[in-house]
Each structure stands twice: as C-alpha cells, then as structure tokens.
C-alpha cells in the first residue's frame, strides 16, 4: 500500500484558528522514527511495543493549555514531570506486523514555541523503548522532516559493549596506561578467569596482556529511565609496569550472557551474536612482549601523551599515582558535546580532581531522590532558584497538602520548586 499506509491521522498540536500565523498547508513537522540497526531492527522493536506514547514538553508551556485534563484531540494536557508547565500527551496502539508510524504535527497557535519530544514504547505496563528530540520548533512555510531516534531500552535487547577505554581506533595511547575498561549496556555474567575478556598485543602475534579483570556495576539514566550496567576493568599486573609500543586489541566474546541467557551481540543487524573488538596503538617500535622493560610512569598530565582523554591519576592529597587513566585536565580540553546529553564537571564525581563527562540531567533525569540543576548536574538539594525537583519530593509535599492534620503545605511546595 506504500508509504501513505504508514501515516497515522494528523496529530495537530491545536486546531488552527483565524488568528494563527500559518495554515495547515504551509507549515508542519513530520516525525520519522528511526532505529539503530546495530542495536535492534524495526521488527524487534515492534515485537516489544504494543503502543506508542508521545509527550510534547515546552518549558514555558503551550498557548491555550491552562489545566490538566484539557483535550486537544488527539492530545491531552497532563503534568507528566510535576513542573509548572503542562505537557501534551497522546498514545497510539501499534501492531507487531506493521511499521513504526509517521506522525505529522501542526503548529496551531504555537508557531514560535520551542519544545521537546519524548517517545515511549509500552508493552503492557513496561516502558520497553525510548527516543526523543530536543529544541524542536516549527519553521513557517516549511514542511520539516524530523528523524527521532527510537530504540529498545537496554534491558529489552541483547547486551553489547557501549563504552571502551581506550576507544576503538585511538592512537598515541600512553605507555603508562593504568587500566582498560569496558561498560556493557546491561548487567551481564562474565567469568573474569576465562578468555571471555582479553587484551592482546597484536604486534607480537596476539600475546595476552597480563592483568586481572574486576567487575562492578553502575547506574545511568537514559531519557530519565534508570539503566544498570556491568563494568569490567583490567588492572595491569605488577609484572607489566608499562605497555610496549605497537597495536593492541580489546575483545569480549559472545560467551558473555545476561540473566536471561542472551549472548553478547554487538551488531543486531547480523543473524548471529557478534563479539566486541576495539583496537588502540601505543607509539613507537613494536617489541616481542606486550610489557615494556622499563616502568611507565607519569608525574603530570603532560606525561600521558598528547592524546586528549588521559590524565595522570592523583591520590587524595593531589600526589601522582604514576599511571594514566581516562579523564581530562579541564573542561576546555574535553568535548562532552560529542556525546549527546553529556556535560563536563570537575572533580566532584571521583575523577581524581580532573574534568569528566557526566550525563546531563536535563536530558536523562536524576532519578527519584535528586534535584536537576539548571546547569545539568544532579544535587541532593535545591540550591538554585530554577532547579527541577524529583517527582518523589513534590509527591511528599502534596501528601502534606492532602492531610488536614499537617501544616506547611505551601512552604514545602515553594521551597522545593513544586509550584
């Protein structure tokens, strides 16, 4: 039936009026949901999604939206994030044997409005897929095609490596490298004593780098939803005080599985699970062993080479521990904006006093017990006038308001920016 069969009924933000500065015929945004084929295929997404929810959020609110429950078919006004502005929400059923829909938005009386789009895929009561776009606005007289990334959450697809350090293809990695680490998209089972994880010295035919893998977990927020990741870190053996010049390869095998038995699959677009590999290079003439004869050490950041992304590790007193670790000396030397939704902060996150990239809470949220500050950082308290409180805090205030035996309702709401 062609492309038109995929277009859902038009989703106007509002019905057009005579006062509107544009008409349906000359201004619109068409949302096209795009999946990353290395993460999941469109069919895999559709098998895990039975309805699609769109949330349009304008920081200053939408013109004409004054109370929760107002209907602007097919949208309904809802306060989804407990801030001072109402969002517009719509849901549509999606069949597993269909395609992701095309959605067309019309401006109505919001031609000059800037808003964000959050797309959630639901399967029963679970959010299984996420996507979105920030700083969306209409362009008068233009039909805009807006690609919106939309993929299964990490817990609903096969595990994969999402971060490697050093990164794949990095050159001029310092010989005093203190660690190699991998972050997996979700919790996985790894036998650190087996060959499931390895770093090999390609320059000498694939000799293994001696060391021990240590496993830990970390929690991140993606579009406001919590995800837990397994992190594997290789600590180099004492017998390997430095790495020899030459090329190295990091490998994670498909024997690594999640709690459901799904094997590591680095490329969902292939028919079989795929291992992860990444390569990096230390400058100089290769030798016959991955371990250098002289200790690699650093006294300052400049000893970690010209490659941005490594700094000399410091102890609690500011002294050097002698090894190069991931990081940067200051925010001017790190390009967090290359990772959409990340910002740079200094020192307070355990990064040994150096700058590092952290998730921007204005994109990913802070969870239920932390405030999102205007600068994108999370805080245990609301220290700026316009910070965004966690839902749990405002809910606690509203419980006070609903209990006639308690006082301080308005003070609680005001102090926590819940009004």
Is 70 exceeded by the pLDDT of residue 40?
A: yes
Could you give the dihedral angle defined by the CA atoms of residues 12, 13, 16 and 17, in that order, rounded to the nearest 10 degrees? 160
Q: Give the pLDDT score at 177.
A: 83
What domains are there in the chain, each with its CATH number?
3-152 (no CATH), 161-307 (2.60.40)
Cα–Cα distances in angstroms (integers) from residue 309 to residues 226, 272, 312, 355, 369, in the given order: 26, 34, 11, 10, 31
Cα–Cα distances in angstroms (integers) from residue 240 to residues 80, 181, 201, 207, 305, in the given order: 54, 17, 13, 13, 19
Tokens for 219?
Answer: 């929690």
Q: How far apart are CA 256 and CA 263, in angstroms?
A: 6
Name the residue among 57, 59, 60 with its Cα closest to residue 75: 57
Are the C-beta atoms of 312 and 304 separated by less than 8 Å?
A: yes
Name the residue among 229, 194, 200 with its Cα closest to residue 213: 194
Residue in this structure with the two tokens 């490298």, named with its chain if needed:
177
- Percentage of the chain modeled with pLDDT above 70: 75
Are the C-beta atoms of 140 and 232 separated by less than 8 Å?
A: no
Identify which has the larger pLDDT, 383 or 207: 207
Q: Give the pLDDT score at 21.
A: 35
Tokens for 81?
Answer: 């994030």
Is 60 exceeded by the pLDDT of residue 242?
A: yes
Which residues, 6+ apart, have CB-to-CB distance to 338 below 8 Å?
A: none
> pLDDT tens digits, residue range 42-67?
999 999 999 999 999 988 889 888 89
Q: Could you please report the per-residue DSSP string of 206-225?
A: SEEPPEEEEEEEEEEEETTE
> pLDDT tens digits, residue range 169-179?
888 888 888 77
Is 90 exceeded by the pLDDT of residue 297?
A: no
Are the C-beta atoms of 233 and 325 separated by less than 8 Å?
A: no
Strand partners, 200: 208, 249
The CA radius of gyration of the chain, in Å to the nearest whole number, is 25
Mean of pLDDT values over 259-266: 93
Identify which has the larger pLDDT, 18 or 377: 377
Tokens for 294?
Answer: 């002289």
Q: How far apart are CA 239 and CA 212, in angstroms?
A: 12
Which residues, 6+ apart, have CB-to-CB distance to 43 below 8 Å?
A: none
Q: Give the pLDDT score at 349.
A: 39
Mean of pLDDT values over 96-124: 89
Q: Give the pLDDT score at 4.
A: 29
Q: Give the pLDDT score at 14.
A: 45
Q: In what order do the strands lie in the sheet with 246-252?
A: 207-208, 197-201, 246-252, 276-282
Would you say the C-alpha torsion 307, 308, 310, 313 has a positive or negative sign? Answer: positive
When mean pLDDT is compared over 91-100, 301-310, 407-416, the highest value belongs to 91-100
């Amino acid at each position: 039936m062609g492309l038109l069969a995929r277009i859902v009924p038009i989703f106007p933000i509002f019905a057009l009026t005579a006062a509107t500065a544009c008409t349906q015929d000359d201004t619109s945004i068409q949302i096209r949901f795009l999946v990353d084929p290395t993460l999941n295929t469109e069919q895999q997404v559709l098998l895990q999604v039975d309805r699609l929810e769109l949330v349009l959020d304008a920081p200053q609110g939408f013109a004409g939206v004054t109370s929760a429950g107002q209907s602007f078919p097919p949208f309904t006004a809802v306060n989804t994030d407990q801030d001072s502005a109402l969002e517009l929400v719509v849901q549509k059923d999606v069949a597993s044997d269909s395609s992701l829909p095309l959605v067309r938005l019309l401006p109505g009386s919001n031609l000059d409005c800037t808003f964000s789009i959050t797309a959630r895929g639901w399967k029963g009561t679970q959010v299984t897929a996420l996507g979105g776009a920030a700083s969306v606005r209409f362009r008068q007289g233009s039909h805009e095609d807006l690609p919106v990334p939309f993929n299964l959450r990490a817990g609903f697809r096969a595990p994969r490596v999402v971060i490697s350090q050093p990164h794949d293809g990095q050159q001029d990695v310092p010989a005093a490298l203190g660690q190699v680490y991998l972050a997996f998209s979700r919790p996985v089972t790894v036998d650190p004593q087996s060959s499931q994880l390895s770093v090999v010295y390609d320059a000498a035919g694939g000799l293994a780098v001696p060391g021990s893998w240590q496993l830990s977990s970390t929690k991140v927020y993606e579009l406001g939803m919590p995800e837990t990741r397994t992190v594997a870190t290789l600590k180099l053996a004492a017998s390997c005080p430095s790495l020899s010049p030459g090329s190295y390869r990091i490998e994670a095998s498909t024997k690594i599985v999640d709690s459901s038995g799904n094997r590591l699959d680095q490329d969902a677009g292939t028919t079989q699970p795929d291992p992860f590999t990444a390569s990096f290079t230390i400058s100089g003439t290769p030798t016959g062993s991955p371990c250098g004869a002289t200790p690699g050490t650093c006294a300052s950041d400049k000893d970690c080479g010209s490659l941005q992304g490594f700094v000399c590790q410091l102890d609690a007193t500011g002294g050097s521990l002698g090894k190069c670790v991931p990081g940067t000396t200051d925010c001017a030397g790190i390009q967090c904006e290359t990772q959409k939704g990340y910002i740079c902060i200094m020192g307070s996150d355990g990064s040994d006093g150096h700058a590092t990239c952290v998730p921007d809470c204005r994109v990913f949220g802070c969870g239920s017990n932390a405030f999102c500050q205007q600068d994108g950082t999370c805080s245990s308290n609301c220290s700026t006038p316009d910070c965004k409180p966690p839902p749990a805090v405002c809910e606690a205030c509203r419980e006070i308001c609903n209990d006639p035996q308690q006082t301080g309702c308005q003070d609680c709401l005001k102090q926590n920016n819940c009004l």
